[in-house]
Amino acid sequence: MVTYKTAPAKEDKRIPSKVVDVRYYEQNDILYLTVIPPRPARYRVVDDDFCFMAAIHTENNQDVVGFEIHYFSLQDPDWLEAPEFAPYLTQRYYVVDSPIKDGTLPEIFAWARERFLTR
């Protein structure tokens, strides 16, 4: 009888399909999340206060290619619990230059708040 040894399972190191670059412009208090590579987009206003905008690919209306959050420092951490944000909360992202390798928008915003606003 021949015994075969199997290799230990390797950790899954695949990168989620959406890689984002996160930038904060303190002077204007705007947080940008840009899906890499950048693609042409038009902005869809998601909330009534014009604070949260989703960048939608110009050729594919279902493809979100970024986000723009105005007055980021003034947003409540529970802000994303409003129903209008629901379509955007299940997507997962790999964030460049961060510990987030498979995170949701609420996780990315919490990280951005800590990184850019806590000094």
pLDDT score of 6 more than 80: no
Could you report the per-residue pLDDT of 47-83, keeping only the tens digit for each? 877 789 999 999 888 889 999 999 999 988 787 888 8
Q: What is the pLDDT of residue 100?
A: 94
Pick left, alpha or beta for residue 68 (phi over 0 → left; psi -120 to 50 → alpha; otherwise beta): beta
Report the predicted TM-score, pTM, of the whole model to 2 decimal places: 0.80
- Domain positions in the chain: 19-117
Please list, in sequence order, all residues whose beta carbon lies within 8 angstroms of the beta carbon of residue 2, skipping any fewer than 6 positions away.
none
Percent of the chain with pLDDT over 90: 50
Average pLDDT value for residue range 28-32: 96
Burial 20-51 (b: 16+ CB within 10 A, else e): bbbebeeeebbbbbbbeeeeebeeeebbeeeb
Average pLDDT value for residue range 26-46: 92
Distance of CA 18 to the CA centre of its chain: 8
